[in-house]
Amino acid sequence: MFPFVKKAYYWLIDSDKNKDFLPDNEGADHTFDLWECFGASSYTSSLFLAASLAYIKLSEIMEDKDAQKVAKEYFQKGKVNFEKKLWQKTYFIEYNNRHSRNYKGLPKMGLSCTVGQLVGQWYAHLLDLGYIVSKDKVQKAIKTVFALNAKDTPYGLTNAVFADGSRNEACSHATNVWIGLTFAFLSLAIYEGFEEEAEAVGARLWATLCDKEKNIWNQPDMISSADGHYLFGDRYMRNLSVWAIVFSLAKRNKKIEHFIGSLKKDLSKAL
């Protein structure tokens, strides 16, 4: 697999047009395919930093010193620019680029607080790769998402909210709740010690899916932040990230860790 991983990584760094050691978004070119981002975005760049740490480990295993050197440089310099360009007081902004534009008198669109701003840190924790940015900023950002995005809706986490508490209404992806992304964020929050807050938000999202909408077996990708109803995406694969909550809990609870170990052994025997 390594030659293909290497090819993909070099394609990513080739997308760094302004040489800030972070990939450049050029519109709706990520998983939020109705939502435009430009330049360095927290979603894409956080994933890139986590991927760089993984690539460093892979290149060590493959004894590719040149690849390792490139990845280390991109991680170290990219991490600095991630914090420099995207950190705003208590969270990492959506994106940083001159294409940001005003919306209904609100601050520039790229300044909103998004649920996916540290999804790369979630991946890094899942893979035991360490921190992609300072732990202090990770924890401040998590607190801010609970304060802004969770407060905005009783049905989970609104994808993007400005510092003044108003929703980012750039598109339906920004202004509503993505179930799988919410689960991923809650897992990250648990890794960082916010178990009570994560449990509270997770419980109300689950109640929306199971009790209110009766959609336990057909969870959509997106639900309305206004009333919790189904919006898009039958049986969406992203929602399997709910299992990551078990993994994050296992890191903090030996009983759960033991349970997962026993489950793996049983599955191995069965297969």
pLDDT at position 106 is 43
- State the Cα torsion 212-166-201-190 to the nearest 10°: 150
Q: Are 132 and 49 contacting, i.e. CB atoms less than 8 angstroms apart? A: yes
One digit per residue, pLDDT tens: the chain, 271 residues?
A: 999 999 999 999 999 999 999 999 988 899 999 998 888 999 999 999 999 999 999 999 999 999 999 999 999 999 999 999 999 999 999 998 755 555 444 445 589 999 999 999 999 999 999 999 999 999 999 999 999 999 999 999 999 999 999 999 989 999 999 999 999 999 999 999 999 999 999 999 999 999 999 988 999 999 999 999 999 999 999 999 999 999 999 988 888 888 888 888 888 888 8
Q: Are 213 and 230 contacting, i.e. CB atoms less than 8 angstroms apart? A: yes
Pick the CATH number of 2-270 from 3.20.20.70, 1.50.10.10, 3.40.50.300, 3.40.50.10860: 1.50.10.10
- Which tokens is 141 given? 């950002």
Dump strand ranges (E) for the chain. 25-27, 37-41, 87-88, 91-92, 95-96, 113-114, 160-161, 177-178, 222-223, 230-232
Q: Where are the domains of the chain?
A: 2-270
Q: Which residues contact 219 (CB under 8 A, 6 or more apart)?
A: 179, 209, 235, 236, 239
